[in-house]
Amino acid sequence: MTTLLRDITSLRTWREYEGQRGKRIALVPTMGCLHAGHFHLVELAKKAADCVIVSIFLNPLQFGSDEDYQSYPCSFDQDIEQLKQRQVAAVFAPESEILYPNPMETCTHVRGNDLAQSLEGESRPGHFTGVLTIVAKLLNLVQAQVAVFGEKDYQQLQLIRCMVKDLNFPVNIVAGSTVRDSDGLALSSRNRYLDTAQRQRALALPKTLRNLTDDIRERQASQELNPDVLEWQAKKQLEKTGLQVDYVAIRAADNLAAFNGVIHLPLRILAAVYVDQLRLIDNIALKLDA
């Protein structure tokens, strides 16, 4: 049975009951419109704890005023049905006023460290403050021993790890690898906005990331690793297919520090592009031989 929890009191009652039964809890925070990427996180959560709770909350605080909060896709009934089929113990799905009873702009925020200002943070000011604030609230409310996040939002994942460490949250963060469609496109709730021609163009994103990892591996032996040149070349490759590029960044995987050509092990390559109006992000791991 999957218990649907709509407010904080019922969440706390559920949590206390499961705690008294000695259950270890894993939380999977989502914004709904669930797909195979989310279900992969649910499976990891099941392995990591006795009991899984999924939150479905479209967090207004992490959307800019020019972004798609109002039109973000929603498939609530289908989400609940799919979570029931996966024997999820509970779903926490509050209305916005439950989590933000006072104006959300003026309530206490978690701002994140310097990493929150670069890459996604530079293009989407305030985005990570919104993400970290809601994740901190959910972690506090659910008091889970484990929380699972996807590597698709790699910068978000690293910022959450930093927050948990810096603010001493007693939770173990588990990362789930990105799930891709058979054509290579990383699953995202926003992919449903793409028409067939746009989707075809979007495939340049995972392809360019793969090519870049091959390129870096080949050049490693000859020590010709100029990250600026490599990022610029990847950007040109993406633009050729009609995508507008926000960034391509080769970074150290752990703290996302800029790669200076001296071999860091391991690396992460991150990119954000626009397919017409739609922003897509993706990233890929790169482990070089020492």
Q: Which residues bind ligand PAF (CB under 6 A)?
A: 29-31, 59, 62, 131, 134-135, 153, 156
CA distance 181 to 235: 23
Nearer to ligand PAF, 62 or 283 (CB): 62
Task: Label each residue of 124-184 as H, E or C.
Answer: CCCHHHHHHHHHHHHHHHHCCCEEEEEHHHHHHHHHHHHHHHHCCCCCEEEEECCCECCCC
Nearer to ligand PAF, 137 or 251 (CB): 137
Tokens standing for residue 130: 């919104």
CB of 27 to ligand PAF, least distance (A): 10
Nearer to ligand PAF, 147 or 205 (CB): 147
Nearer to ligand PAF, 160 or 238 (CB): 160
Residues with a known catalytic role = 38
CB of 75 to ligand PAF, least distance (A): 14
- The answer for residues whose C-beta is within 8 angstroms of residue 200's C-beta and 6 or more apart is none
CB of 152 to ligand PAF, least distance (A): 8
Q: Which of 189, 211, 203, 202 is nearest to 269 (CA)?
A: 211
What letter represents residue 135's amino acid? V
Q: Which residue has the tokens 């939150």?
A: 55
CB of 135 to ligand PAF, least distance (A): 6
